[in-house]
Amino acid sequence: TQLLEQSPQFLSIQEGENLTVYCNSSSVFSSLQWYRQEPGEGPVLLVTVVTGGEVKKLKRLTFQFGDARKDSSLHITAAQTGDTGLYLCAGNTGTASKLTFGTGTRLQVTL
């Protein structure tokens, strides 16, 4: 059972455009993380959010945790080719030892 659904599954945009990726669940998460994965490598943590309604910014990336802690979004402003990769959300529903990953959003940014 996949607890975390991400949308869209694929996204191809040109450099300079804005985009938003969504991570949704019917479960409540105690914390939620976003990772980025490049080809041939393992995922790398971008951010962790723990409070409902929390907003975190990392340069051109803005992360939001839903008020009910069931969803999250990642907004990228003025995308660059270096943003290309697979974006994964991951959450804890209670057991710290089991981190559940979303289905992933593959982003392609072209010139």
Partner 1 sequence: NAGVTQTPKFQVLKTGQSMTLQCAQDMNHEYMSWYRQDPGMGLRLIHYSVGAGITDQGEVPNGYNVSRSTTEDFPLRLLSAAPSQTSVYFCASRKSGGKTGELFFGEGSRLTVL
101 lines the binding site for partner 1 (CB under 8 A): yes
> 12 in helix, strand or coil?
strand
* Closest separation in Å from C-beta 62 to partner 1: 19
Q: Which of 11, 21, 43, 83 binds partner 1 (CB under 8 A)?
A: 43
Amino acid at 25: S
* Closest separation in Å from C-beta 33 to partner 1: 8
What residues from 62 to 91 belong to the interface with partner 1 (CB under 8 A)?
Answer: 88, 90
Nearer to partner 1, 19 or 86 (CB): 86
26 lines the binding site for partner 1 (CB under 8 A): no
Q: How far apart are the first and last CA of the chain?
A: 38
Q: How many residues bind partner 1 (CB under 8 A)?
A: 28
Residues 83, 34: Cα–Cα separation, whole Å:
14
Q: Which of 59, 82, 98, 111 binds partner 1 (CB under 8 A)?
A: 98
Candidates 29-37, 57-65, 68-76, 77-85: pick the segment binding partner 1 (CB under 8 A). 29-37
Scored b (16 or more CB within 10 A) or e, 52-85 reads eebeeeeeebbbbbbeebbbbbbbbeebeeebbb
Residues 7, 11: Cα–Cα separation, whole Å:
9
